[in-house]
């Protein structure tokens, strides 16, 4: 399950999680029988740079994330930490970029990896949704037309591993995470062999059909773990989600719904209140998770 908030709340002058993050809020999530929560992060709030509000960034932000991760673990949940919003130079990280920036992202991942180095129930999702770049740039970095340099996935893997952290790493494909067609060819080297492929699946994405999943995702899933770190459907409907979950369950692909936030049905949404009241899409995902949980118990 995705729990958005920490990627934007700090820069807006709000407490880092952007909503309830106490044990009661987590209990509402675990009632759906989820086993992992993805927490999107803001590079500059973590590092405390480029005008991030002092009262909500750096030490304050890190402490809030650490508390939340600890509470999630106490509820027997794995955690995925995701670099979601970032920006190069002195620009504020107020949205998604084409790729992680070389200026700050390696330092971000070295710091995050050191912080959670001894956490054995965590994974690092290196960059949320790479887009409008080539596969070579994705792996090796490049200079964009806008004039700034990206950090490739290999640089980010190296940043994490330089700390001694051995947690699994997720490298999400290009085209807003929907394209894994050349992931295996450009797979970065991980000395610990703990690399997974990240996939984003939405009804409005380019790869949104059974044929595309079979032709571009299934082959990757036979070689490395594939995690759909975001998936969902507009208008709170669920027919597309059902088709994807049917295929993913058969193919051994994991998935985390977007998202546990009452954002409304203009886009993908699983709940319409923080206490976990499900939207129609949320009801279908919850039913699926409950069935999967029951099958594991047997």
Distance CA 255, CA 154 (A): 24
Number of domains in the chain: 1
| Residue 3 lies inside a defined structural domain of this protein | no
| Residue 192 lies inside a defined structural domain of this protein | yes
What are the distances in angstroms from CA 187 to CA 73, 172, 225?
A: 30, 10, 13
Report the residue count for the chain.
298
Distance CA 248, CA 269 (A): 20
67: CATH = 3.20.20.80
Give 108-158 pLDDT, tens digit per residue: 999 999 999 999 999 999 999 999 999 999 999 999 999 999 999 999 999
Chunk the chain into consecutive blocks of 10 residues (it has 298) and report each block's average pLDDT, rounded to whole numbers: 98 96 98 98 98 96 99 99 98 97 99 98 99 99 98 99 99 99 99 99 98 99 99 95 98 98 95 97 98 79
Q: Which residues span the domain enclosing 52? A: 10-297
| Residue 143 lies inside a defined structural domain of this protein | yes
Phi, psi of 113 (to 5 degrees): -65, -40
* pTM of the predicted model as reported, rounded to 2 decimal places: 0.97
Q: Which residues of 211-248 are buried (b: 16+ CB within 10 A; e: fewer)?
A: ebbeebbbebbeebbbbbbbbbbeebbbebbbbbbebb
| Residue 4 lies inside a defined structural domain of this protein | no
| Residue 135 lies inside a defined structural domain of this protein | yes
| Residue 5 lies inside a defined structural domain of this protein | no
| Residue 287 lies inside a defined structural domain of this protein | yes
Determine contact, residues 168/198, Cβ cutoff 8 Å.
no
């Amino acid at each position: 399950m995705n729990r958005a908030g920490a990627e934007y709340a700090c820069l807006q002058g709000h407490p880092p999680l952007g909503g309830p993050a106490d044990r009661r809020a987590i209990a509402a999530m675990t009632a759906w029988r989820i086993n992992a929560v993805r927490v999107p992060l803001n590079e500059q709030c973590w590092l405390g740079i480029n005008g991030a509000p002092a009262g909500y960034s750096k030490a304050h932000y890190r402490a809030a994330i650490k508390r939340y991760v600890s509470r999630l673990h106490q509820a027997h949940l794995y955690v995925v930490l995701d670099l979601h919003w970032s920006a190069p130079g002195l620009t504020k990280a107020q949205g998604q970029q084409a790729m992680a920036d070389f200026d700050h992202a390696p330092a971000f991942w070295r710091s995050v990896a050191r912080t959670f180095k001894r956490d054995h129930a965590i994974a690092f999702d290196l960059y949320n949704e790479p887009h409008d770049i080539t596969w070579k740039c994705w792996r090796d970095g490049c200079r964009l037309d806008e004039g700034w340099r990206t950090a490739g996935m290999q640089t980010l893997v190296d940043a994490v591993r330089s700390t001694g952290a051995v947690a699994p790493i997720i490298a999400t494909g290009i085209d807003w995470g929907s394209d894994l067609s050349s992931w295996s060819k450009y797979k970065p080297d991980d000395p610990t062999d703990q690399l997974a492929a990240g996939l984003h699946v939405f009804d409005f994405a380019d790869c949104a059909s059974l044929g595309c999943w079979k032709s571009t995702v299934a082959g990757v899933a036979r070689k490395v773990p594939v995690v759909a770190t975001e998936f969902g459907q507009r208008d709170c409907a669920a027919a597309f989600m059902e088709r994807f979950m049917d295929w993913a369950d058969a193919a051994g692909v994991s998935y985390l719904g977007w998202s546990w936030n009452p954002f409304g049905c203009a886009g993908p949404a699983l709940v319409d209140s923080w206490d976990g009241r499900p939207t129609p899409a949320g009801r279908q995902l919850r039913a699926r998770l409950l069935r999967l949980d029951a099958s594991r118990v047997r």
